[in-house]
Amino acid sequence: MGSSTRERSLAFYQGVLGLALHSSDAFGDFIALEGALLRLTVIADHTPSPHPVLGWEVADIAGKARALLERGVPLTRFPGMEHDDLGVWTSPDGRSKVGFFSDPDGNVLMLTQR
């Protein structure tokens, strides 16, 4: 399970999200983010949180949502929240647009345009 899960996660973060691999060791991989590193590690019996575990700001959320959809990753629509045709939610004050989606392991990720 471990190696195929690890390879699947790397393929998603690199290929789908376009993030660069910084380094790897026997326990996991570091993905380069602007000014930070994201550690990916396979954990047996992991249960993903229903809440976002990672998010970042983007300049064009509609463009990012379309790019994700083209790569087979639709935005998640949560009950009780109004989403546009792409699945983007606008905050009640209208200041932020947010898109939620999941990685292959069910971890919820988030894009925000302010």
pLDDT tens by residue, 42-52: 999 999 999 99
Q: Where are the domains of the chain?
A: 1-43, 52-114
- Per-residue pLDDT, averaged over 52-58, amounts to 96
Q: Structure tokens of 21?
A: 């691999």
Question: What's the 3-state SS for 24-51?
Answer: EECCEEEEEECCEEEEECCCCCCCCCCC
Summarised one tens digit per residue, pLDDT across range 74-108 is 999 999 999 999 999 999 999 999 999 999 999 99
The DSSP 8-state label assigned to residue 59 in this structure reads S
What does pLDDT average to over the chain?
95
- CATH number for domain 52-114, candidates 3.10.180.10, 3.40.50.1260, 3.60.20.40, 3.40.50.970: 3.10.180.10
